[in-house]
Structure formats: C-alpha cells, structure tokens
Structure 1
Amino acid sequence: MSSKPLKQIHLAAHFPGVNNTTVWSDPEAGSHIEFSSFAHFARTAERAKFDFLFLAEGLRLREQGGHIYDLDVVGRPDTFTILAALAAVTEHLGLAGTINSTFNEPYEVARQFASLDHLSGGRSAWNVVTSWDAFTGENFRRGGFLPQEERYSRAKEFLATAGELLDAWHGDEIVADQASGVFLRDAKAGSFVHTGQHFDIHGQFDVPRSPQGRPVIFQAGDSEEGREFAAAGADAIFSRYAALDTGQAFYADVKGRLAKYGRRSDQLLILPAATFVLGDTDADAEERARHVRRAQVSGATALKHLEFVWNRDLSSYDPEGPLPDVDPDVGDDHISKGRAQVRMYRDPLATAREWRELAAANNWSIRDLVIHTGNRQTFVGSPATVARTINEFVQADASDGFILVPHITPGGLDEFADTVVPLLQEQGVFRTEYEGPTLRHHLGLAHPDDERAERAAS
C-alpha cells in the first residue's frame, strides 16, 4: 500500500501593527513607518523562501471612549505604496495587501492591482475585506451608507466586476513593439460593460493583461457568508483556528464547500495566522513565551481589552486587581469605535460571567486574565519542536501552512528563517528554491487562463 505523499507547507509573513501583538518596549523593536523596516522584513521572508508578505490595512484609527486608541500604529504608509516599493527590493516574494471592497471602486482597485502585478513580475495578492461600520465610513462619501447585511453582496459583485476589468484584455488583443511599446491590435481590447445592483459602469480598462492575469485572491471572513464567499472564488482563506482539532474542522468545512462551485480541494488554501516563540530548548522557549506575553499585555492594554467586552470606561480599575463587579453595558453605543472588537464576544454578559469564574478559580487579576484568555503564542519550543509541530498540523489537514506574525519588527522573523526553515527543508516539506516567477507558482495555483481552458474542455 502506497503511503500518502507529504504535503508541501506554505509559509508567509505578516507585518504586525498593534502593540498587543508586538513588543514595543524591546530594544530590538524598530519603526513601523520607515521603509528600512519593511525592506528588512521582506528580505528575510524572501531569504527563507516564503510564499508572500502580507500587510493589513486600517482605514481609520480606532477610538476608545472618544479618544484615539493609543495601542494603534499611527502613520503607517499606504498599503499599495509599501508593496510597490517592496517589489523593487525583492525578486520572488509575493506581495499581499488588504484592500476594502466597501469604500473603494472596482475600476480603481483593479487598476492598482494590475499595475502592482506588472511592477512585481506577477507577485500581487488581494485580501478582499468588507466594512459595515459608519465610523470608518465617515472618512468616505459612503459613510454609513451600506447596511451590514449588504456588505457581502457588494463584496461579491465588487470582486466579480474587478475580475471582468482584469479580464478585459484577455486573449490576443495586444502585440509588443520594441520601438514604440505596447499597442492595440483590436480597438475593443480593454472594453468593459457591467450593470448590476451595486455597479453600473462601462468604458476602457487601460492596463494590459498582467503576468498573473489577476491577483491571487485572499479572504478572511469566518462567518457562514465569509466561508461561502471564499469557497466560491477565493484562492486562499485566512483562518483564526490554530489548534489542531478546530483547525481540522474549519479545513474540512471550507474545503467541503468547493465541489458545488466546480472547484477542487487544491484550488483553495487554508492559512491560519500563527505566532511563535523559539528557544534553545522547549523549557527555555516556554519561559521566553511567558515573558513575551506579559510584555505584550501591559496594564493599560489589559484594561483596554476588558473594555471591549464591558463596553464601559474601566480606567479607574487596577489592572493588577480583581475584575469589575459591574456587568457589561450591552447597549448599541459601543465605547470602541473603528474596529468591532466587542462583537468578538457575541454575549458579553455570558463572557463576563465565564471570566469572573476563571479569575476566581485561578486567583487572576485583570491583567492575568487577559494574558491567559487572549491570543497566546501558537508555536512555542525549540526549532526542532516548532518545525515538527508545524509539519504535523499541515499533514493532518488542519491547514495548508501558516502566516507567521512575529512579536518583534522588523527582525522578529530572522530566527525562524535561520533555524526552523532549514529543518522543514531537511524533512522535504518546504522548498529550497523558488520554482517559478509568480505568486501563483509559489502557491501551486493555476493561471486563470489555464483554469478557463480546463473548464471549457471538461
């Protein structure tokens, strides 16, 4: 009986952006604005043969109790600008960015991604997200315009419309002339017409077909609508399930939705975000992880996190003291604006009861509770232990790989690249060289034109 072939692991790197992830107080912590930080991070990821670098996007600084949320990064440059600049200092690394479908237009976004794909030689990726809150929308003319229940409807049509624009140059409509550059063979090349519920546009798309045809599409929703949206048209979906059992359940659920859209299991990758702490030994790593976690969750951070659930000003409470006796305010006016943190907890009253019981049973302060119930490190151990665990997760179909989020920028990825990656390469589950020029090559995804030809032939 032949054994199941080993899956190849996909690894990517996420440049973090808030200090409940990063440790700002560490002497090695660097800038989140200077280009040298992004360049160092990207070069490390490429040296380690990672698939791509990922940048999230915030369209408005959060507020807490009417004040700027002081745990956010202020002044990070625009995502497209950073990715375009990184294209010039890397050769193989994929360049993925979050771009909102609620407050942008398909023509503009399609043009930007097609341009990035040309500039990078076929390495662009788009994390399609939605936003329903009017607070963020106040920065745009559509502020408060889109009801929450319509956000996926608009996102689906947005993605489809952008795809139509990118495909407007499909086929043999252009030829290259070395003297004068690229010119049209057919005057209709690039022409588009789209009439739908959210968009009614027609015209000429002015960026020729890019190396990938269209960017690799990522999706991050975990709701029923989000999973279905990813199954219908995404190339990869982010996941927050980093435990083996929950990861396997999510993996099976999403992959199981693909067949009804005429898609195979290998046409959608499952990539959870993952943090890590390494040490010379497992015990050393565990000790370092405890230190890192306490540095990530300062007293001020703990109170801010508790306010997401309590929906009250808790600044008068001692973070090293007991949890509040007062219950959460379940009203619609949330103390946290700009990022729906409170909605992470569907039933704040039940969450408060559970947390009080945990704190009482373990003699935890507010800070202790947040440290233990918040996002803890996914992989902790020696390089050999972390490499083995990552491989076990992937081979057990809990994921297709991981998007790593270090707690130090820009150098926090260096140790992983130098110690864990070589072990994965020795096991034959991670590349030693890039096998193709585009991000689709790295991820094992077919070119859209090839997929179109395959569907036509079937």
Structure 2
Amino acid sequence: MSPQPRPHKQIHLAAHFPGVNNTTVWADPRSGSQIDFSSFVHLARTAERGLFDFFFLAEGLRLREHQGRIHDLDVLGRPESLTLLNALAAVTERLGLAGTVSATFNEPYELARRFASLDHLSGGRAAWNVVTTSDAFTGENFRRGGYLDRADRYTRAAEFLATARELWDSRPVDEPPRRVDHQGRHFTVRGEFGVARSPQGHPVVIQAGDSPEGREFAASAADVVFTRHGGLAAGRDFYADVKGRLPAYGRRPADLKIMPGVTFVLGDTLAEAQEQAAEIRRQQVSPQTALVALEQVWGVDLSSYDPDGPLPDIDPDPDGELARGRVRIADPQAVADRWRALSRAKGLSIRETVIETTGRQSFIGTPQSVAREMADFVRGDAADGFILVPHLTPGGLDSFVARVVPLLQERGAYRTEYTGTTLRSHLGLPDPARPVGKD
C-alpha cells in the first residue's frame, strides 16, 4: 500500500487593524477613517466572515516625535483599545478580540478586571497582547514618570501577568472565592477579586518580544506569539527555538501558537501582483519617510540628502536620537554597514534601500499561489498561522476573505465553520484550569 498523504496542518488566521505605521497607504482613494467606529466594524465583520481566530489592535501611549515634531504617521484620536473592543463585542459573535495593553504603565488588579469584563461581555473572546515599555519619553505621560530600566521590563511583565492570573484564579467555578495575598518585587495586592470567573478563565495572552528574554517569557507564559519572522528559514528557526523552550515549563507544542505578522498582495497573474506590490511599497515609503527611516539609524539630521541619491558616507552617531517613542536601533553601525553593502551590490538609492530593507514578508501572487504558499509555510513548521496586516483601512481584508479563504478550505487547511464559541476553542488552547502538561 502506498503511504497516506500527510493531512494538512490547520492554519490560524487573525486580522491586524492597520494604522500607525508605514504599512498603511493613506494616499489610496479607498483609504478610510482610522477613527470612525464603522471602519473597525467593517474590518472585524470581514474577519469574522472569513472565520478568523481574532481581531488585533495595536496601541501607542504617546504620539511619537521626530526632531521635535509629531511623526507624520501617527494618528491623533484613535480610540482606546479595550473601550473599542467592548463595543465590537456587541456587533460580532465568534471573533476573538485582542487588545495591546502595556504591563509597564498599568496595575494588575485594574487591568485583570477590565479583561475579565471584556471576556464576560464577549462570551469568552478576550485576548491581551502583553507589551512592555522601557523609555522615559512615554513615561512622561504617567504620574510616577514611568521610567523602567530595560533589564527590569520583563521581570515586571512576568510578575504582572502572574498576579493577574492569581486574581482570575481566585474566583474558581463552583467553589468559594479565595483571597489574594500577593507580595512581590513590583506589586502588592491583597483582597478579593471583584469579577466572577469569566468564560475562558484567563483571556488568551499574546506576546511579541523577540529577544532571548522575550522568547523565554513567551515560552513560560504566552498562548500566542506575534513575530516578525515571516521568511521561511527565519520562521523555522524561530519556531523551533521557542517551541523547544516549552518542555521546561511543562508545556506542549500545541499550547503556544506562533503567528507572524504578514502582508499580502493579490493579482490575477504573478506579474500583476508583483507590479501592484512594488507600487504599494513606493506609496508606503515616500521620499520623506525614507529619510526619516535613515535618520533613525544614523541618529543625525540627514534632511539635506537626496532620497534618490546614495546612502551617507558618514558613520552613524551611536548616541544620536532624533526619534522619541520608538525602539532605538541596538547596533546602528552594523545596520548602516548592511544597508551600504546592499546599496552597493544592487545600485540602490536611499529610498530604494529603505523599501527593500524595511518591508515585512509578504505573500505576493495569485489567490491560488498565496493559498499554497501559506499552507506550505504552516505545514513546514515555520508558523502556526498568520496575523494579516492589510495596507488599506477598512477594506484591506475583503479580497483575501473572498479569494484566498475558500482555496485554503478546499485544500483542507482551514476551517469551514467555527466549532466553538471562545477564542481558546478557536486556537485549540488548553483550559487554564487544567494543570500544564496534563490532558
């Protein structure tokens, strides 16, 4: 008998609301409001129609600055994430609702209460993307100044999450509530939690760190990892590394989903899709945006340089900082050397170099080829699924749901209906009441 074909590994999909970044193409006439509730409703309902696991919101706590001016790609007035997700809970039925909230500028009791409330109001669809913030610039908006040394940000986040879970677990099903008495390095919490146990017990926890500390935090505590490792080789390395850390915490590979953020461009032919993708990248990286990206590496004013000319022949200033509210480049000299080598090898201008080096991994092609590549990517253990970051608000997912999702379903690589009601059930995650490593 010939061997049976290996069944398709099921793909998980999520939708990222586009916005404060250079992924969004604001100049496109189809680009809509970043603030109006109808934009969020459109994207969320499209994702739910496509049977996506969850809808994902990023959040910034301060408008970024560049050379003392508000960064052009920042948006004033975007609604606060949890407020918005509670509103979306009323106009969706199965779609998970994921909000980014900092573990640096909040307190465990208050945030545990807010996420438990969202989980109740949505019927078990809440998720928390746990992020850390180490810069004093953002902390200027908060009472205590907010500065946290980089060495402490993950220790605080780990204790924050552990304290939140103590609070959620203090309200067990069919048992009397337990008092919480947490005394740690960062937090002291005593008393009873004020919200009944929510449908999921714990909201799904998402994490996006890529440093060794971030990978360890993900292996110990996260349910989903949002990564930028979208290339096949890098994706496999990251996947194997993080999954390989799970046994030390009594966890199984299925207990953690790895989902890179990716873009996509669809065309009737490969050539058409590639042409569209090139035009989108040119729109995403304007001449001004290219110089800003260059200044973030070099740390000095480069406004006199021609974006269509060669890269600077001067070295970066290791202490230069023109941008505030962004993560600083760890080794600017190494980045500059890499960009110069690429520019020389391919004859690229400043703008062309930025376009080539700052774009996320994209799936570019016909609906058939994109469906095949996505299925192969997941089947090859480079990811468990993808968080799609469309370049248009709010209709950027429409074509993917209409043209790619049915093909994934035909391949047997994607669900044809929701089989559960909670986000944990969509993702195949364990019940938090079950001890780790146990069936």
Alignment match, 2:152: 150
Alignment match, 2:62: 60
The answer to whether 1:358 aligns with 2:345 is: no
The answer to whether 1:399 aligns with 2:386 is: no
Pick closer, same or farther for the CA change 1:216–1:326 going to 2, 3 Å: same
Alignment match, 1:23: 25
**Mean alpha-carbon deviation: is it higher for 203-212 or for 354-363?**
354-363
Alpha-carbon distance between aligned partners in 2 of 1:145 and 1:109, rounded to the nearest angstrom: 20
The answer to whether 1:418 aligns with 2:420 is: no
Alpha-carbon contact 1:293-1:376 (below 8 Å) kept: no
- Map 1:211-290 to 2 at 5 A: 211-290=199-278
Alpha-carbon contact 1:237-1:271 (below 8 Å) kept: yes
Pick closer, same or farther for the CA change 1:314–1:170 going to 2, 3 Å: same
Identify the match of residue 113 of structure 1 among 112, 115, 118.
115
**Mean alpha-carbon deviation: is it higher for 140-149 or for 249-258?**
140-149
SS of equivalent to 1:207: coil
Q: Deviations over 1:269-321 (max 9, x none)?
A: 11000001000111110110011110110011101111110111122222122
* 1:328 CA drift (Å): 1.1
* 1:208 CA drift (Å): 0.4
- Map 1:275-354 to 2 at 5 A: 275-331=263-319, 333-340=320-327, 342-343=328-329, 346-354=330-338
Q: Deviations over 1:317-346 (max 9, x none)?
A: 221222222221111x51111111x32xx3
Pick closer, same or farther for the CA change 1:21–1:217 going to 2, 3 Å: same
Percent identity over the alignment? 63
Alignment match, 1:179: none
Alpha-carbon contact 1:103-1:142 (below 8 Å) kept: no
SS of equivalent to 1:169: coil
* 1:360 CA drift (Å): 2.9
Amino acid at match of 1:406: P
Alignment match, 1:203: 191
Alignment match, 1:433: 417
Alpha-carbon distance between aligned partners in 1 of 2:36 and 2:178, rounded to the nearest angstrom: 37
* 1:454 CA drift (Å): 7.0
Pick closer, same or farther for the CA change 1:91–1:144 going to 2, 3 Å: closer
Amino acid at match of 2:363: F
Amino acid at match of 1:229: F
Alpha-carbon contact 1:277-1:377 (below 8 Å) kept: no
* 1:171 CA drift (Å): 3.0
Alpha-carbon contact 1:13-1:403 (below 8 Å) kept: yes
* 1:6 CA drift (Å): 2.0
Pick closer, same or farther for the CA change 1:233–1:453 going to 2, 3 Å: closer
Alpha-carbon distance between aligned partners in 1 of 2:239 and 2:338, rounded to the nearest angstrom: 28
Amino acid at match of 2:111: V
Alpha-carbon distance between aligned partners in 2 of 1:272 and 1:156, rounded to the nearest angstrom: 22
Alpha-carbon distance between aligned partners in 1 of 2:381 and 2:14, rounded to the nearest angstrom: 18
* 1:218 CA drift (Å): 0.7
SS of equivalent to 2:198: coil
* 1:3 CA drift (Å): 4.6
Alpha-carbon contact 1:235-1:268 (below 8 Å) kept: yes
SS of equivalent to 2:98: strand
Instruction: After the TM superposition, list the runs of 4 or more consecutive aligned residues in structure 1 that deviate by more than 4 angstroms.
Output: none
Alignment match, 2:8: 6
When normalised by structure 2's length, the TM-score is 0.97
SS of equivalent to 1:72: coil
Alignment match, 2:45: 43
Segments of structure 1 that go 5 or more residues without pairing to the other structure are 174-185
Alpha-carbon contact 1:190-1:206 (below 8 Å) kept: no
Segments of structure 2 that go 5 or more residues without pairing to the other structure are none
SS of equivalent to 2:435: helix
Pick closer, same or farther for the CA change 1:19–1:26 going to 2, 3 Å: farther
Alpha-carbon distance between aligned partners in 2 of 1:446 and 1:352, rounded to the nearest angstrom: 45
SS of equivalent to 2:396: helix
Alpha-carbon distance between aligned partners in 2 of 1:349 and 1:292, rounded to the nearest angstrom: 29
Alpha-carbon contact 2:64-2:74 (below 8 Å) kept: yes
Alpha-carbon distance between aligned partners in 2 of 1:115 and 1:191, rounded to the nearest angstrom: 19
**Mean alpha-carbon deviation: is it higher for 30-39 or for 66-75?**
66-75
Aligned-pair RMSD on alpha carbons? Answer: 1.4
* 1:350 CA drift (Å): 2.7
Alpha-carbon distance between aligned partners in 1 of 2:173 and 2:123, rounded to the nearest angstrom: 19
Q: Deviations over 1:141-194 (max 9, x none)?
A: 232542210111111100000000011111314xxxxxxxxxxxx4xx253111
SS of equivalent to 2:214: helix
The answer to whether 1:192 aligns with 2:176 is: no
Alignment match, 1:385: 369
Alignment match, 1:176: none
Q: Deviations over 1:377-436 (max 9, x none)?
A: 510000000000000000000000000000111001000000000000111110111001
Alpha-carbon distance between aligned partners in 1 of 2:345 and 2:230, rounded to the nearest angstrom: 26
Pick closer, same or farther for the CA change 1:369–1:454 going to 2, 3 Å: closer
Alignment match, 1:163: 165
Alpha-carbon contact 1:61-1:68 (below 8 Å) kept: yes
